[in-house]
């Protein structure tokens, strides 16, 4: 049976957007529900794909086109190519997913020297005829013949200049005739052939051009940017539609409308129109359009009809519609409708209001919003009217916008922040010891590192803007300046960064603060009622916990204890602990840290009660708490110079005063004090060199620290359990969980659990109560996945650390991969997504699925979640629901996104099962 490629508007299936494209399907559906749509037909996406494969139109296609043109001729009483009452058509693209402006359209097709005269005779308006002709020649020349617009524009502008005319509408029929003749000459010069007079040749070339535009650069780039896969949309339809004209006089108009305000979501008529114009005039900015409300004055009856059209469209499609219309001599035609593209605030408001109006269900209200869209509502944004060009661009690592004085080190950032200054912390890369600078800064900018680098992870956890890996910025920390090409950035210069786009600006760009609307709160409460996955937060402070609760978190899935060590007043104690040469000295230093960390947990448990708080024991390598080797060498050199200067000063002052001992204040910085400082720096330098590893991410970290230095883990366990006991005595219902990182064998877990048992017995005896808590492990090594059944003998919960698990599975260094080859892999299709952003379900996901099955086989009902970066990504959340995890944990600002994504996962689970 021959393939059917062509469908009239009267019989096309308006639900089959894959075959007819969104535009074609909607034209069919609008026709069939009785709206006034110009007659036409759709050539399907299947024809496009066959054409692109064979490089020719399918056999018999043009014969079918001719039959459908003849049907339009019978309906309209006009003739295609006729010199009396000529039929003109548009040839318009349209894929299954709307891609506005990305593919090609040709208007006024069917004009030639003969039909032009027929059009002039029919309308009695030579100006209108030549205006339509010159538009057609240029558009056809550009789209179908590949002639650059500039070739036509040069002649157009010269005629206007010679006539002393600025506005296109001021050109008369003679001007437009002259322009048309010049355009015909351009076509002949550029192609070597005269402009095609045969209207069916025009139509065939136009259909081919529309099909070709599916693989045009802008369409391909658009699909890549918005992740439109072949399953979502493959090929474009070609819609052949009878032309109706909004530029035949002052009883004609053209416009674009929305059934609701796309900026605010308000339930009101919204749009613009132009009298005596064609549709491209509205969107191309040739003339300033008028607000649609003015139509009540110019054409009141047509405004009433337009309001009825608006109501019918929204009632039928049950979605906010973006529609195009033309008024030809007092008759309203609807040319197109599609789901309106709106910002996040408008999408949320319309979802809630349409449910209250009975227009849609709660399920549809949730599913019509892409969870990622909510990110717009949760971070400061740059003023959309900003016209300042960016200085550079990096990776959009943590969304939001921030502005402040450029500072090159964390200490200065903390000092200036304390003084009330707004700061952008600019570093080559960041380390945990910079954390106090993070707290003080409005945003973080690095010249190295990827979206999952330390700076990015921490910034997202804090909800602060971050741009990472801006490699065009050459940072010189020692001279406290940076270069971008020839532009010098000095400390104190104002920078603005946009963590959503990765753009960096010199100077201040105003930002708009986010607000959480009541509509968003309502929508997310609906999401929670459908979701099975719980949403936890990755936070480390009571302030972060309160923020997470405000966003709707129901627990903390990852509290990184090392972040608590990095506070400026605590870091010296940590350094003393690292420098200790024996367990007793190390224990003495830890004893000073114990009450500090215990109080941290008391506050954290109190803030989150009664929700669970998962505390990860120390994970990063010890050297990360120390300055770098180069920094220490510089500091020792500076101290040596200072010591020499003090000695010289002492000799001079003793000679002048005759005193053996220097008077105050000269004895405050004595040689002894400086000498001790030098000695400590030298000891730190030796320790840094001793701790140096070829690949520290795969080295002495995580549980391996607990094996080498059990006193560190015992102190942390004690601080958690004593905090839990204090809270229990206060009558708080708390749910602490102790999590061991980087485990590869059950023996490691048993040993740490032995520490826990020892501390538990002591704590319960001291406080006179029974502690209730869970003991578990992160799953972030491949061996842990394969040994999950054995680990579950000891662990009461698993939490997937997918950042490290992804790195281990791919054998990628994430920072190097994101800055070197991953973009290429994504661009050429070797990998569909960045696996550090989107969970790799075919690799890492299969390890997770296996781990969950092994764990549940040993311990039915074991609690399993994810706390890696991917835990806040909607696509990853969908997979987590599929393998029946209990929770996902993510940075606080992504909690609303995760809540909505969890609802999507439940509502779409059947679809996901079929795909997988």
Here the contacts of 150-156 (C-beta below 8 Å, separation 24 or greater) are 151/186, 151/190, 152/183, 152/186, 155/179, 155/182, 155/183, 155/186
Kindly report the average pLDDT of the chain as a whole number: 88
CA dist., res. 542 & res. 600, Å (int):
8
Catalytic residue IDs: 454, 867
**Which residue did the predictor score with more confidence, 484 or 675?**
484
Residue range 358-364: mean pLDDT, rounded: 96
Residue range 106-131: mean pLDDT, rounded: 94
Instruction: Give the start-end residues of each E strand in 154-203.
Output: none
- Taking only Cα atoms into account, the Rg of the chain, rounded to an integer number of angstroms, comes to 34
Buried b (16+ CB within 10 A) or exposed e, 44-66: bbbbbbbbeeeeebbeebeebbe
- Tens digits of per-residue pLDDT, 366-384? 999 999 888 878 777 787 7
CA dist., res. 738 & res. 730, Å (int):
21
Helix axes 746-767, 710-729, angle to 10 degrees: 40
Closest listed residue to residue 463, CA positions, set 443, 436, 437: 443
Residue range 287-295: mean pLDDT, rounded: 81
Residue % of the chain over a pLDDT of 90: 58
How many of the other CB atoms lie within 10 Å of CB of 564? Answer: 23
Give pLDDT, residue 561. 86
Residue range 340-358: mean pLDDT, rounded: 90
- Tens digits of per-residue pLDDT, 610-642? 999 999 998 887 777 777 777 888 878 877 776
Give pLDDT, residue 794. 97
Residue range 86-94: mean pLDDT, rounded: 96
**Which residue did the predictor score with more confidence, 561 or 493?**
493
Give pLDDT, residue 812. 86
Separation in Å, CA 573 to CA 580, 593, 594, 635: 11, 7, 11, 20
Q: How confident is the model at residue 460 (pLDDT cuts 50, 70, 90)?
A: low
**Of the ranges 195-209, 286-300, 375-389, which one carries the lowest mean pLDDT score?**
375-389
Residue range 296-302: mean pLDDT, rounded: 94
Q: How confident is the model at residue 850 (pLDDT cuts 50, 70, 90)?
A: very high
How many of the other CB atoms lie within 10 Å of CB of 558? Answer: 27
Residue 684 falls in which region: left (phi positive, over 0), alpha (psi -120 to 50) or beta: alpha
Q: Does residue 660 carry a pLDDT above 90?
A: no
Residue range 868-879: mean pLDDT, rounded: 91
- Tens digits of per-residue pLDDT, 408-455? 988 898 889 888 899 999 988 776 567 678 888 989 998 876 654 556
**Of the ranges 317-331, 557-571, 585-599, which one carries the lowest mean pLDDT score?**
557-571
CA dist., res. 259 & res. 269, Å (int):
6
Give pLDDT, residue 276. 86
Give pLDDT, residue 240. 98
How many residues are there in the chain?
916
Please report the sign of the dihedral spanned by the C-alpha atoms of residue 514, residue 519, residue 522, residue 524: negative
Residue 811 falls in which region: left (phi positive, over 0), alpha (psi -120 to 50) or beta: left
**Which residue did the predictor score with more confidence, 246 or 575?**
246
φ, ψ at 441 (rounded to 5°): -85, 150
Residue % of the chain over a pLDDT of 70: 92
- pTM exceeds 0.95 for this model: no
């Amino acid at each position: 049976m021959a393939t059917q490629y062509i469908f009239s508007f009267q019989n096309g299936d308006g639900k089959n957007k894959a075959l007819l494209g969104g535009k074609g399907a909607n034209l069919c559906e609008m026709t069939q529900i009785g709206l006034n749509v110009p007659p036409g037909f759709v050539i399907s996406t299947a024809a496009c794909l066959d054409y692109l494969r064979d490089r020719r139109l399918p056999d018999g296609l043009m014969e079918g086109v001719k039959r459908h043109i003849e049907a339009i001729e019978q309906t309209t009483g006009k003739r295609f190519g006729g010199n009396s009452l000529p039929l003109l058509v548009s040839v318009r693209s349209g894929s299954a997913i709307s891609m506005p402006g990305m593919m090609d359209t040709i208007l006024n097709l069917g004009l030639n020297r003969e039909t032009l005269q027929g059009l002039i005779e029919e309308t009695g308006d030579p100006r209108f005829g030549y205006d339509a002709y010159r538009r057609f020649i240029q558009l056809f020349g550009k789209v179908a013949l590949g002639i650059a617009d500039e070739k036509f524009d040069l002649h157009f502008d010269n005629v206007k200049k010679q006539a002393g005319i600025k506005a296109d509408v001021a050109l008369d029929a003679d001007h437009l005739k002259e322009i048309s003749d010049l355009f015909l000459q351009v076509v002949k010069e550029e192609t070597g052939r005269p402009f095609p007079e045969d209207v069916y040749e025009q139509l065939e070339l136009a259909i081919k051009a529309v099909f070709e535009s599916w693989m045009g650069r802008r369409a391909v780039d658009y699909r890549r940017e918005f992740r439109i896969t072949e399953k979502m949309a493959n090929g474009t339809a070609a819609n052949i539609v009878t032309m109706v004209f909004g530029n035949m006089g002052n009883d004609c108009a053209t416009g674009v409308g929305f059934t609701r305000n796309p900026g605010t979501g308000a339930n009101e008529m919204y749009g613009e129109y132009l009298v005596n114009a064609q549709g491209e005039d509205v969107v191309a900015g040739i003339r300033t359009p008028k607000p649609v409300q003015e139509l009540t004055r110019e054409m009141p009856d047509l405004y009433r009809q337009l309001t009825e059209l608006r109501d019918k469209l929204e009632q039928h499609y049950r979605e906010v519609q973006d529609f195009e219309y033309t008024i030809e001599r007092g008759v309203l035609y609807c040319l197109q409708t599609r789901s309106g593209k709106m910002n996040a605030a408008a999408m949320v408001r319309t979802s809630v209001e349409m449910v209250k109006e009975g227009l849609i269900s709660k399920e549809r209200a949730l599913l019509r919003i892409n969870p990622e869209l909510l990110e717009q509502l949760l971070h400061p944004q740059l003023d959309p009217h900003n016209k300042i060009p960016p200085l550079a661009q990096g990776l959009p690592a943590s969304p939001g916008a921030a502005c402040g004085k450029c500072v090159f080190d964390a200490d200065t950032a903390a000092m200036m922040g304390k003084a009330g200054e707004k700061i952008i912390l600019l570093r080559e890369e960041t380390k945990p010891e910079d954390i106090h600078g993070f707290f003080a800064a409005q945003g973080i900018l690095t010249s190295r590192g990827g979206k999952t680098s330390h700076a990015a992870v921490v910034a997202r956890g804090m909800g602060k803007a971050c741009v990472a890996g801006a490699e065009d910025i050459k940072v010189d920390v020692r001279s406290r300046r940076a270069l971008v090409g020839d532009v010098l950035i000095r400390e104190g210069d104002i920078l603005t960064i946009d963590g959503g786009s990765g753009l960096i600006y010199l100077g201040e760009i105003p930002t708009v603060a986010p607000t959480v609307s009541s509509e968003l709160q309502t929508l997310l409460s609906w999401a929670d009622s459908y979701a099975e996955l719980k949403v936890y937060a990755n936070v480390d402070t009571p302030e972060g916990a309160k923020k997470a609760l405000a966003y709707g978190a129901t627990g903390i899935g990852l509290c990184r204890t090392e972040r608590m060590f990095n506070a400026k007043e605590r870091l010296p104690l940590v350094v003393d602990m690292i420098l200790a040469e024996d367990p007793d000295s190390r224990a003495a230093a830890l004893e000073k840290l114990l009450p500090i960390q215990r109080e941290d947990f008391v506050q954290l448990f109190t803030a989150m009660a009664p929700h669970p708080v998962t505390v990860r024991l120390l994970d990063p390598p010890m050297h990360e708490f120390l300055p770098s080797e180069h920094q220490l060498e510089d500091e020792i050199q500076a101290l040596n110079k200072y010591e020499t200067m003090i000695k010289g000063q002492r000799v001079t002052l003793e000679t002048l005063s005759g005193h053996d001992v220097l008077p105050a204040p000269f004895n405050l910085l004595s040689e002894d004090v400086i000498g001790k400082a030098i000695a400590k720096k030298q000891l730190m330098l030796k320790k840094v060199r001793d701790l140096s590893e070829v690949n520290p991410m795969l080295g002495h970290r995580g549980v391996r620290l607990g094996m080498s230095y059990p006193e560190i883990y015992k102190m942390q366990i004690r601080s958690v359990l004593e905090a839990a006991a204090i809270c229990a005595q206060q009558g708080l219902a708390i749910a602490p969980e102790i999590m061991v990182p980087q485990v590869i064998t059950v023996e490691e877990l048993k040993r740490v659990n032995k520490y826990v048992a020892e501390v538990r017995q002591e704590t319960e005896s001291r406080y006179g109560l029974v502690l209730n808590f869970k003991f578990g492990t992160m799953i972030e090594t491949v061996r842990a996945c394969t040994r999950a059944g054995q680990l579950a003998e000891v662990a009461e919960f698993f939490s997937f650390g997918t950042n490290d698990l992804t790195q281990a599975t791919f054998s990628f260094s994430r920072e190097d991969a994101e800055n070197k080859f991953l973009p290429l892999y994504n661009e050429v299709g070797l990998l569909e997504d960045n696996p550090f952003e989107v969970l790799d379900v075919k690799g890492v996901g299969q390890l997770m699925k296996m781990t969950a099955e092994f764990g549940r086989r040993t311990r039915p009902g074991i609690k399993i979640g994810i706390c890696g970066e991917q835990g806040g990504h909607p696509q990853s959340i969908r997979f987590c629901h599929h393998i029946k995890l209990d929770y996902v944990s993510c940075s606080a600002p992504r909690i609303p996104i995760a809540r909505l994504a969890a609802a999507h996962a439940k509502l779409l689970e059947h679809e996901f099962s079929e795909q997988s």
